[in-house]
Structure 1
Amino acid sequence: MKAQPAQPARLDVSATRAALPVLRRPRLPFSPWHLLLVPLALVFAAPLGWLLLSSVMSNAEINRFPPALWPSRVDFAGYRYVLENALFLRWFTNSLIVSAVTVVSNLLFGTLAGYAFARMRFTGSRALLALMLATMAIPFQLTMIPTFLVMKRLGLIDTLGALIVPSLVTPFAVFLLRQFFLSLPRELEEAAWIDGCSRLRVLFTIVVPLSRPALSTVAVLTFLSTWNDLTWPLIAVNHDTTYTLQLGLTTFQGQHHTNWAAVMAGNVITVLPVLLAFLGAQKTFVQSITSSGLKG
């Protein structure tokens, strides 16, 4: 009997492929967008870095041409000059008082008005909301003279009250909080009403704790606008003891325009609270914008 020739062995293609190492595409440890965003962020941060470096330079280094890019030694003479030769601490306190009161009042009144527009239906509510939003389109230059006359009638001119009262509540705060309240489920409030809670109790025990992102956004934006305001304090106050930091720094810069180290030091102290406030609430700010119906 003739022997059959041996059959050639068949390769198991699937097993061979499984045994081969999988070649993966190299992945960056960061998003490709960072290649564009990081240089762009450095461009925007360059003026702030130059401000900080200039505040610790001497006047000779600042006035030198070409200008020095790095201080030869750290010199805090500008900071000492600002704190010793101006009402800087008084201006800082005035700005802090005005900003703090304005932030608290906007959070309180904005929450009450925003919740009323979001959950309550009353006669003329839509028309009143539209009228309030329409005031956001009116430039401040058209309202500053009537506002000045009202403050004069109230006897608040040249006081901190003249800086606080016109900003006790803003249409933007009411609108942003209303939009956020509309995104919250009604079932939570209805369950509290069944248990016998009043509207105010529902608002402050259920709605407000869930609205921290929106409240943080309102607080930060109100603080930034109030702290950086220059036009209205320039009109409403006349005495240097009631100046805010922005107004005082402007007059200080005009009086000491040659002492650039002191001017830069004053600007650093002015910018620092704003920068800290924004960095502290950056995440809640983005969360509020994306969840309140304002995204594009």
Structure 2
Amino acid sequence: MKIKKLNKSSLLVGLSLAVFSFIMVGPFIWMFITSVKTYEETIRIPMQILPKAIKWINYKIVFEKFPFIILYLNTFLVTIATVAGQLIIVSLAAYAFSRLNFPGRDIIFLLMLGFMMVPGQIFIIPRFNLMVNLGITNTLTALVLPSIFSVFGVFMMKQFFSTIPKELDEAALIDGCGYFRIFWNILLPLTKPGLVSLGIMIMLSTWKELMWPIIVNRNIEKMTLSAGLAMLIGEHTTYYEQVMAGAVISVLPMVIIFVIFQKQFVAGIARSGLKG
């Protein structure tokens, strides 16, 4: 009886995972199928699921319309700079909130967490005015600078630092280590799963960011992939097959990166909920 119940429960879990997996993967499959259709097939009613013939020419048209090499390079540079800058600043802030005692530490941390409940769109106008005053609009710097700090990242890394025994800090202080050396040589290597998972989340968020690149940059040679793809949507006519072809091209690197680092990502997310 126990074996039958176990098999039934396993089957139910398997079916549930299959359904949810299809719900998650389904839009990407539909995106690819649409990218190899003709324009008439994308707007046909009733809906045509599969194309009569695969049209790879949509990818060629997209590459001819936009400087994809420049857009890719801009996106890679912005993503790498944002990930590196945010990991450095966030990990330092999390170390300070987790291991150092200074006046108002808990109050400041609670105020920071309060900002997570405020919609980010509220800060767009002040942020844009700041970029204008600094004279860096229509540059890649304007895409990186506002994104090198994250309250969520500080909270997540603080959770990781909290899992490490404070006896390591005390032993290092006795041996003559300073606070920064303790952070860099002892604690930071122990939070590698957290850094990897947070880095992947920052990378995905930066790669798909749309609103801010469109607002702060108007020159297509200073745009990222997401902003460049938005230019494919016409005022009167939108060629959906070309939009989907561009979307497939832009999302492919992130899919590859996630597949490579998925174990570290899952391990990091699992450990972030632990407490010391």
CA distance in 1, matches of 2:8, 2:67: 50
- Computing the radius of gyration over CA atoms, which structure comes out larger, 1 or 2? 1
- Map of 1:290 onto structure 2: 270
Single out whichever of 224-233 and 194-203 deviates more from structure 2: 194-203
CA distance in 1, matches of 2:98, 2:233: 46
Contact 2:232 2:238 (C-alpha < 8 Å) held by counterparts? no
CA distance in 1, matches of 2:272, 2:239: 47
- Map of 1:112 onto structure 2: 92
- Map of 2:58 onto structure 1: 78
Residues 197, 45 of structure 1: CA spacing in aligned structure 2 closer, same or farther, 3 A cutoff?
Answer: same
CA distance in 2, matches of 1:278, 1:35: 24
The letter of the residue matching 1:273 is P
Residues 29, 279 of structure 1: CA spacing in aligned structure 2 closer, same or farther, 3 A cutoff?
Answer: farther
Instruction: Give per-residue Cα distances to partners, 1:256-289, cap 9 Å, x unaligned.
Output: 9443332211011122233333333333333333
Q: Which of residues 11, 30, 35 is equivalent to 1:55?
A: 35
Paired positions, count: 273
Contact 1:77 1:261 (C-alpha < 8 Å) held by counterparts? no
Matched, 1:132 2:112: yes
CA positional deviation for 1:294: 7.0
Q: Which of residues 202, 214, 227 is equivalent to 2:207?
A: 227
The letter of the residue matching 2:113 is L
The letter of the residue matching 1:40 is F
- Map of 2:179 onto structure 1: 199
CA positional deviation for 1:65: 4.2
- Map of 2:195 onto structure 1: 215
Matched, 1:162 2:142: yes
- Map of 1:20 onto structure 2: none
CA positional deviation for 1:199: 2.2
Contact 1:58 1:77 (C-alpha < 8 Å) held by counterparts? no
Structure 2 unaligned runs (5+)? none
Q: Which of residues 2, 7, 10 is equivalent to 1:31?
A: 10
The letter of the residue matching 1:31 is S
- Map of 1:87 onto structure 2: 67
Structure 1 unaligned runs (5+)? 1-22
Contact 2:35 2:241 (C-alpha < 8 Å) held by counterparts? yes
Residues 45, 257 of structure 1: CA spacing in aligned structure 2 closer, same or farther, 3 A cutoff?
Answer: farther
- Map of 2:239 onto structure 1: 259
% of aligned pairs identical?
37
SS state of the match for residue 261, structure 1?
helix
Residues 42, 114 of structure 1: CA spacing in aligned structure 2 closer, same or farther, 3 A cutoff?
Answer: same
CA positional deviation for 1:176: 0.7
